[in-house]
Amino acid sequence: MKNGLFFALLLFISLTLQAQSKYVKGKLTTMAVPLANAEIRILDSETVVKSNTDGTYTITAEIGDVISYSYPGMQTVEIVVEDVTRILNIELSQKIEELDEVIVKGSNRKSQQDLELEYAINPNLIRTAWGILNKDTSGGTIRFLSKESIRSIGICILDILRNELPGVVTFGNCSEGGGVVIRGMSSLTQDNTAIYDVDGQIFTDTPIWIHPDAIERIAVISSLSATAQYGNLGDGGVVIINTTTGVSGLVNNKILDRARLRNNKYQNDALDDLQVSKNLPDYLLALKNSPNLSMAQSVFSNNKKFYKNSPYFFIDAYAFFKERGDDNFADKIIDDLKSMIYDNPVHAKALAYYMDAEGEEEEAKDLYEQIFIMRPSYSQSYRDLAESYREVGNYKKAASMYARHNYLADEGFLQIDTVGIFPIIERESENLLRLEGDRIMNGGKLLNKGTKLAELGETRLLFEWNDSEAEFELQFVNPEQHYYTWKHTNQANASRIKDEKLQGYSCEEFFVDGSLPGRWRVNINYKGNKKLEPVYLKVTTYYNFGKISQRRQVNVYRLALKDVNHKLFDLNNAGVVAN
């Protein structure tokens, strides 16, 4: 209890320090053109400024404030201010107006905002690619299936529709695929079969990869008036599926099943390492082109005077010399870094990533301890420090950190949810208990609220990024050359990014099972971080997750090249990561 109160006090001190004002500045653009007279507002306050003729602005904000960027005809962007927020360069995109946003006086039509608030309690609402559809006010016949009426006797959507909706004809099976016929039985060709709207994504192939337990609602629409917005694709009717996660409904982030979509064919168009390396900064190119370590050291010394105030120069140089085996020189670089990174959690985390990758577990632990002191209200601070303790063999401290997180979450000091980092912490604490339980002894109360190790023996991929403003798209290509894309952008997933800042985390996990053997490829399309600085992505691959033979491999990637899809790594599900 005393330890719990200590952590609560640390949180209180952190929140007190956060109540200090700071200046946030940047530039607003649209289509690379400066945006003048845009409104920049601190929500729930009277603080409002306008962007200058060159698009620049400066506003006073506090940590935890939400800055809103708006302009007539443009999509509003909202950003949560963090401890390191200094520069926010915002790109506004054209707003796509929805007819449901217009409310006619005397009409019972509700706005999309109203429907969004009502969604959880009104079973006659369903989300589509065009907004929320209301059964009560839409034209045409719509048949609904709620979560309670979806029986778990089937293994895919074909079984559900076959058993629950008389008059809907299905063909095929849940292993090879099939289709649904809604409008008559004149033919079973693809032209007359239904399409699928899954959490706003349109698919022509039946999504047999969605687990029934992950389905929240189903709607089947057949009338031409109701399907008109889908164009010719909707001629055969539309099956709308809302999942519990809102991201295509796969339990436990099964990238294998998501990548089986037959209409997502990979064109082998991602840039390779050589093509990406051409866009590295001059100092990194000079280091990599050095014929020997002695010349590389001279390159570093010559560039140091120009980049003496850039922590990224020293982080990149440290990583270079570590990779080349010049540990002594790399360690000397750390001395130059200390004054710049030990009060900045974003810079400190980038260096900690490289230390993890190089097997410098003790040094990485020291950094994670420092980050924890700077960010005691971030859930990831507890997770990172717990896993760092685990890597240095201090299993009791690792268990204690998970227990502290659990205690503070239960007491309301930390924000938690059933999504985000909390399931990751739950899974990793259970993994710690399973594999190191005999060494923990009285290490504290571990989270153990479910069977999060259902993926026992599978390959687990954990992605972490040092900068919460980073936006990117991950593309997972399976051995059959079909892909699934996970989008971490404000445009595609603004609520997720906002939740990350409120809970304090920057990570996501995925699992790859062995039912599709062969080589996988993971690509990334980096979208930027609202400032001219690189982002560092840490990928930890866990083989045989949850088994005694579990092992991990850490790789770190420097992201700076924007708006192109390029290769991160290849993954052989037999247990090899090839760069």
Please name the amino acid found at residue 120.
A
Q: What is the pLDDT of residue 152?
A: 63
Give the max Cα distance, the chain: 80
> What pLDDT is recorded for position 368?
96
Domain covering 2-91: architecture: Sandwich (2.60)
> What is the amino acid identity at position 245?
T
Distance from C-alpha of 429 to C-alpha of 483, rounded to nearest angstrom: 31
The CA–CA distances, whole Å, from 425 to 405, 457, 487, 504 equal: 9, 18, 22, 13
Contact indicator for 380, 361 with CB cutoff of 8 Å: no
Report how far residue 408's alpha carbon sits from residue 3's, in angstroms, rounded to the nearest whole number: 11
Q: Is 571 helix (H, G, I), strand (E, B) or coil?
A: strand
**Are the CB atoms for 473 and 517 separated by under 8 Å?**
no
For the record, the structure tokens of 292 come out as 């020997």
Cα 496 from Cα 74, distance rounded (Å): 21
Selected from 2.60.120, 1.10.357, 1.10.1760, 2.60.60, the CATH number assigned to the domain covering 254-276+456-579 reads 2.60.60
Q: From CA 96, how far away is CA 94, in angstroms rounded?
A: 6
Concatenated DSSP letters of 256-292: HHHTT-TT-B--S--B-HHHHHTTS-HHHHHHHT-SS
Question: Does residue 69 contact residue 90 with C-beta atoms inside 8 Å?
Answer: yes
Pairing of strands 238-243, 195-198: parallel
Distances in Å between the alpha carbon of 485 and those of 253, 552, 560? Answer: 12, 24, 20
* CATH code reported for the domain at 280-375: 1.25.40
Would you tell me how many other CB atoms lie within 10 Å of the CB of residue 99?
10
User: CB neighbours of 288 closer than 8 A, spacing ≥ 6?
Assistant: 277, 280, 320
Domain 110-249 class in CATH: mainly beta
CA proximity to 257, closest of 569, 524, 514, 463: 514
- Residue-range domain boundaries for the chain: 2-91, 110-249, 254-276+456-579, 280-375, 376-454
Per-residue confidence (pLDDT) for residue 299, from 0 to 100: 95
Q: How far apart are CA 257 and CA 458, in angstroms?
A: 14
Whose tokens are 């009338």? That residue is 223
Residue 74 DSSP class: B
Domains 110-249 and 280-375 share a fold: no
Please report, as a single letter, which amino acid is at residue 454: A
SS3 14: helix
Q: 117: Cβ–Cβ under 8 A, 6 or more apart, which residues?
A: none
DSSP β-bridge partners for residue 452: none
Q: Which tokens hold the place of 131?
A: 């907004």
Q: How far is CA 75 from CA 70, 90, 165, in A?
A: 7, 11, 39
Calpha distance 513→392 (Å, rounded)? 29
pLDDT of residue 532: 87
**pLDDT score of 224:** 72
Query: Which CA distances in Å does 454 have to 185, 451, 537?
Result: 41, 6, 27
List CB contacts of 51: < 8 A, sequence separation 6 or more. Answer: 27, 28, 34, 35, 36, 37, 38, 40, 57
pLDDT at 3: 55
Among candidates 294, 207, 278, 284, which has minimal Cα distance to 248?
Answer: 207
Q: What is the mean pLDDT of each run of 10 residues along the chain (579 residues)?
A: 51 53 88 88 91 93 91 88 90 62 42 75 84 77 80 78 83 86 50 81 84 86 76 83 64 49 72 86 93 95 91 94 94 84 90 95 95 92 96 93 87 72 89 86 48 63 95 90 86 84 90 77 94 94 90 96 93 60
444: which residues sit within 8 A by CB, 6+ positions away? 396, 399, 400, 402, 403, 404
